[in-house]
Amino acid sequence: MSYMKYDARKLSTEEQHLLRRLAVQRVFDGEAASEVTCSYGLGDRTIYGWLRIARENRLDALAPKPRFGRGRALSDFEADEVKRWILGGDPRQYGFYFGLWTRQIVSDLIKDRFSIDLGLTAVGNLLYRLGLSPQKPMRRVYERDDTEMPQIHRRTFDLYCR
């Protein structure tokens, strides 16, 4: 018997629905509920709740319910636009004085361009969703001579090897 190790809460609603139907159908087909819970990594209370719902209202009752809520503040197109701003340039190109992207600058730019007021936490969540993470700025001497660098490295290495 193979045991699945995953968190079903991270599955899409369709995948969760399929998981519920498969688990209940396996029990209806004669398999022990404890074996089904072990194989899917479910809790006992979970499978018995699904079985009760399925017995009372048929398998269709396990279908996902509509989700209510506010939804996202930015559309997918607007979020992609924000990503293009960040990856495509520098905040100074948009009239800001600072050369690094901060959540405050992104929030101000979204408010300016889309008239949507996002808090810093919401901007952080948006950046995470877009796959953007904070990066340390590169620390480097701007006046350095790249042709001289190998010689400096060799001299430094020789000092440490003595």
Determine the structural domain holding residue 112 and report its residue range: 76-129
The pLDDT score that the predictor gives to residue 8 is: 76
> From the CB of residue 27, how many other CB atoms can be counted at a distance below 10 Å?
19
Which range (11-15, 73-77, 142-146) has the least confidence?
142-146
Same domain, 18 and 49: yes
Domain identity same for 82 and 105: yes
Q: Are 114 and 150 in contact (CB under 8 A)?
A: no
DSSP-assigned states of every residue in 24-46: HHHHHTT--HHHHHHHHT--HHH
| Whether the model pTM is above 0.95 | no
Residues 6+ apart with CB under 8 A from 46: 37
For residues 86 and 152, give the distance between their C-alpha atoms in angstroms, rounded to a whole number. Answer: 35
Q: Which two tokens stand for residue 108?
A: 């101000």
Q: Quick one: 52 and 84 in the same domain?
A: no
Q: How many domains does the chain have?
A: 2
Domain identity same for 58 and 92: no
pLDDT-wise least confident of 84-98, 106-120, 125-139 = 125-139
pLDDT tens by residue, 24-72: 999 999 999 989 988 888 888 889 999 999 988 888 888 888 888 888 8
Residue 141 inside a domain? The answer is: no
81 within a domain of the structure (yes/no): yes
